[in-house]
Amino acid sequence: MEDTHSFGPIVNQATRILILGSHPGVPSLRKQQYYGNPGNAFWRVVFHALEVPDPVDYQERLDTLQAHGIGLWDVYATAQREGSLDHKIKNPTLNDFETVLNDIPIKLIIANGKTAYKEIVKHPVFQSYKVVSALSTSGLNNGREKERMEQWTQAIRSALA
């Protein structure tokens, strides 16, 4: 099994919220896009919380997030995994958060799902940040849509208020 590599951070000096997933799944890796699996509710959930329409175009989506102070990254820089399920991740390496976080005034880190959250709370680099765990936007959680929408909306709006 080969290592897969996550994407670079989508952050700038205006980033106040950093959303961290675990590691890109197969559809995202294929497209070379964050949350590239059409079954993943990430874009719908976040744009609902921001009360803005989803621009659909990937670059416009990223631009819209950045215009609202939201950045994206993954916890793992590299990992081995068959398929896209987090419980199948093996031999992960952490992204270099010290370098990126030192330059950005982050108010909140939102962990997209349990795997990202469990990893974040283990590492000292995150101890000085407010961290919120939100239900994963994975298609596996689409049956908990209402609860997920409420969690994400509350987290995003509280940090942007």
**What average pLDDT does the segment 100-125 reach?**
91
Give the model's pLDDT for residue 90: 84
d(CA 18, CA 21): 10
Catalytic residue ranges:
40
User: What backbone torsions phi and psi does residue 111 show, to the nearest 5 degrees?
Assistant: -85, 120
pLDDT digits (tens, 9 = 90+) for 39-89: 999 999 999 999 999 999 999 999 999 999 999 999 999 888 877 766 677
Residue 18 banded pLDDT, cuts 50, 70, 90: very high
* Arithmetic mean of pLDDT over the chain: 91
Give the model's pLDDT for residue 142: 76
Give the model's pLDDT for residue 26: 87
d(CA 60, CA 56): 7
**What average pLDDT does the segment 99-104 reach?**
86
